[in-house]
Structure 1
Amino acid sequence: MSYTTDKNLIQPIFFPVSLWKLALMSVCTVGLYQVYWFYGNWRLVKLRERRRLSAPWRSVLGVLFAYPLFRRISRAAGNPRGLACLAVLAFLLWVGLSLVAYAPLPWAVVSLASVIPLLPMQAVANSVNIRAVPGHISNSRIRGWNIVALVVGGPVALLNLLGFALHWAQA
């Protein structure tokens, strides 16, 4: 199930990232890392399936293309029935939590939890990657732009959470 690119490097099937890094980066970038996560997955799908699809557009329009990606991840794992339910549930929860971002403050802060439905899908994707390409890079280290996002976005995320907590304390 693994494949090679023009550089003859064995690529993972889906975007490889550790669960803790996905969660941390999603919260500290206020969800922007999720767009990057979708892009990484769609880019690998495009390469693997040799299809004409736009990974950037599918990433930005995640609400329209999340379920097809989740379905691909579930099918690649080999348990279509049980994981199909996981794909549907993850999609519905992700869309619902993502749309909360448009609610008035402080409720919009709840959208930081939109990463939670992505975690089981990433766990399945990681298991597919390990089975298909045992030596692939796991992408669990924080470096480069990740550090910038943590330094800039971390305090913003903490202030948002603090504001949400203070709102509840006053209510």
Structure 2
Amino acid sequence: MELHDPYRAPATIPAPPALPRALPEVRAQSQADSDAAEYYSPSTLKMVLLSPTTFGLYPLYWFWRNWQAIKRETGGSQWTWARALFSPIWAYFCFSDLRSAACNRRRDLAFDPALLAVAYFLLNLSTRLPNVGWLLGLFIFVPLLPVNSLLRRYHQDERVDMERMDRFNIWHILVVVAGGLFLLLLFIAMAVTPDR
């Protein structure tokens, strides 16, 4: 009978069986997916419908998602929610960072980021105009469209799946319907109420 010796080296453990290797096409596709940065670029229709019906909250969401992507790509320590909340101040930096990311792939922004940032800032200020001047604020998404278009071209070149960004789920549809009805009632009330 053999006694257990606590000082003896343990017996060798057999190596586990090798895992099956992925097909070369799958490996190449996963590497291509991991190399491309994924920024938030919904369809133009989605931006045009959701921005006015959320009264400008959807552009804040757009900034938040893109600041998250910039932080992920640069490894920065910025507060993405604060930059989205104060987007009129940070818009130039966001547009500039997104433009430089796309320029690495030989794509360029149709307009200067400074011009788009000034337009975004002025549209934000227009919400404080008296009478019907605040209606200009409903078009706050317009300066985002060239940047969004640039990101969509970048995603097409890099073969990033944009289908889930373009998809309308039930919440999007409910927001468009409820916000659209509210805007319609607001316009009717403005038309019926005489100016005083």
TM range (shorter): 0.7 to 0.9
Partner-residue secondary structure (3-state), 1:142:
coil
Identify the structure with the greater helix proportion.
1
Equivalent residue pairs, number: 159
Partner-residue secondary structure (3-state), 1:89:
helix
- Check the 8 A contact 1:13/1:45 in 2, yes or no: no
- The aligned counterpart of 1:101 is 127
Sequence identity percentage = 25
1:41 and 2:66 aligned: yes
Match of 2:42 among 12, 17, 26: 17
Within a 5 Å distance, the mapping from 1:1-171 to structure 2 comes to 10=34, 12-78=37-103, 83=109, 85-132=111-158, 134-138=159-163, 139-162=165-188, 166=191
- Check the 8 A contact 2:111/2:146 in 1, yes or no: no
Aligned in 2, Cα 1:121/1:159: closer, same or farther, shift over 3 Å?
farther
Q: How much is the aligned-residue C-alpha RMSD, in angstroms?
A: 2.7
The higher radius of gyration belongs to: 2
Whole-Å separation in 2 of the counterparts to 1:45 and 1:152: 32
Whole-Å separation in 1 of the counterparts to 2:167 and 2:160: 16
Q: Identify unmatched segments of 5+ residues in structure 1.
A: 1-8
Give the drift of 1:12: 4.2
Whole-Å separation in 2 of the counterparts to 1:85 and 1:147: 31
Whole-Å separation in 1 of the counterparts to 2:171 and 2:189: 26
The alignment's TM-score, normalised by the length of structure 2, stands at 0.71
Please identify, of 137-146 and 95-104, the stretch whose mean Cα deviation from structure 2 is larger: 137-146
Partner-residue secondary structure (3-state), 2:77:
coil
- Check the 8 A contact 2:110/2:146 in 1, yes or no: no
Q: Identify unmatched segments of 5+ residues in structure 2.
A: 1-32
Give the drift of 1:105: 3.2
- Residue-by-residue CA offset, 1:38-58 (whole Å, 9 max, x unaligned): 111011111111111111111
Whole-Å separation in 2 of the counterparts to 1:121 and 1:162: 34
Give the drift of 1:104: 2.0
Aligned in 2, Cα 1:92/1:163: closer, same or farther, shift over 3 Å?
farther
Please identify, of 65-74 and 82-91, the stretch whose mean Cα deviation from structure 2 is larger: 82-91
Q: Which has the higher contact order (CA 8 A, sep 6+)?
A: 1
Whole-Å separation in 2 of the counterparts to 1:47 and 1:76: 12
Whole-Å separation in 1 of the counterparts to 2:127 and 2:40: 25
Whole-Å separation in 2 of the counterparts to 1:26 and 1:123: 16
- Residue-by-residue CA offset, 1:99-128 (whole Å, 9 max, x unaligned): 111112321111101111111110011112
Give the drift of 1:83: 3.3
